[in-house]
Amino acid sequence: MHHTDSTHLIYFSPTNTSKSIGYSIAEELAGPAFHRHDLTFATAEEALPATALAIIVVPVYAGRIAPLARKRLEAIRGAGTPAVLVVVYGNRDFEDALLELQDLAQSQGFVPLAAAAFIGEHSYSTSNTPIGAGRPDEADLLAAKEFGREVAERLAHSGDSALQVPGNAEYRQGVGPVDYTPQVDSTLCNFCETCTSVCPAGIISAVEGKILFEAGDCIRCCACIKSCPTSAISFAVPALAELALKLHNNCRTRKEPRLFF
């Protein structure tokens, strides 16, 4: 049995899929003291006590934790703090990401009690090549709430258990920043600057009537593309278009959330 006096939702969510899953889980777990830690745009060093409950939600990039999410999560430490671990992937596979998150959480002083893998629309999903389009949907969010409810029951009535999640101890090779960046169609851009405010890497700036991208640090989350109100931003990279088409063709079968206790 665990007695907690506060709930901390910790998430990295460029396109809001991880955020929506996290809040749905937290609805069933949050007590009177609820704290949000949005790691999407900034890293705030913080230590959580053993009396807190952490809900950690991060996206999966190529079967691993998104690298920038991992870097920012390293600023949050526990002290024997119970944690619920969640990864959100684009209907392909989460591979080693959940195990990586468990290992990281433990190294940061958290005690994982439960874990889950949920589905969110893939970063490369478009209207022409949808990949997990519209996820998380109503059924996903309901499943997230039910997961939160089950975790709450176990916290109230069960002791610690040895959590086991799938994955290989020798993680698969992940992905990092790339030299290329999205391109802006100046005939469509209305210079609203929405893209500058949603970029987790902070590489987009508005200068003298132009939207500029700093090469070398793009994480390909596609937040700028998905948030552009005039569809002026895109990746003009043939290799990415080919990958999106491959994922569209090979990942059509709907995958469902997986839960681990």
Q: Which residues contact 183 (CB under 8 A, 6 or more apart)?
A: 233, 234, 235, 236
Question: Does 98 have pLDDT greater than 90?
Answer: yes
Model confidence band, residue 30 (pLDDT cutoffs 50, 70, 90): confident
Average pLDDT estimate for 124-138: 96
C-alpha to C-alpha distance for 74 and 78, rounded to whole angstroms: 10
**pLDDT score recorded for residue 43:** 78
**What is the rounded distance in angstroms from the CA atom of residue 146 to the CA atom of residue 136?**
14
- What's the mean pLDDT in 24-48? 90
Q: What is the mean pLDDT of residues 67-80?
A: 97
On the question of pLDDT at 159 being above 80, the answer is: no
Dump pLDDT digits (tens) for 169-226.
999 998 876 788 999 999 999 999 999 999 999 999 999 889 999 988 999 999 999 9
Calculate what percentage of the chain has a pLDDT beyond 90. Answer: 86
**Distance of alpha carbon 206 from alpha carbon 224, whole angstroms:** 13
Record the pTM.
0.95
Tell me the C-alpha distance between 56 and 75, whole Å.
13
Q: Range with the lowest mean pLDDT among 1-5, 8-12, 144-148, 235-239?
A: 1-5
Write out 193-257 in H/E/C secondary structure.
CHHHHHCCCCCEEEECCEEEECCCCECCCCHHHHHCCCCCEECCCHHHHHHHHHHHHHCCCCCCC
Q: Which CATH class is domain 6-171?
A: alpha beta
Say if CB 227 and CB 192 are below 8 A apart: no
What average pLDDT does the chain have? 94
On the question of pLDDT at 160 being above 70, the answer is no
Helix, strand, coil share (%) of the chain residues, nearest 5 = 30, 25, 50
Residue 242 has pLDDT above 80, yes or no: yes
* Mean pLDDT calculated for residue range 234-259: 95
Right CATH number for 183-236 from 1.25.40.420, 3.30.70.20, 3.30.750.210, 3.40.50.1820? Answer: 3.30.70.20
Position 1 confidence tier, pLDDT thresholds 50, 70, 90: low
Domain boundaries, the chain: 6-171, 183-236
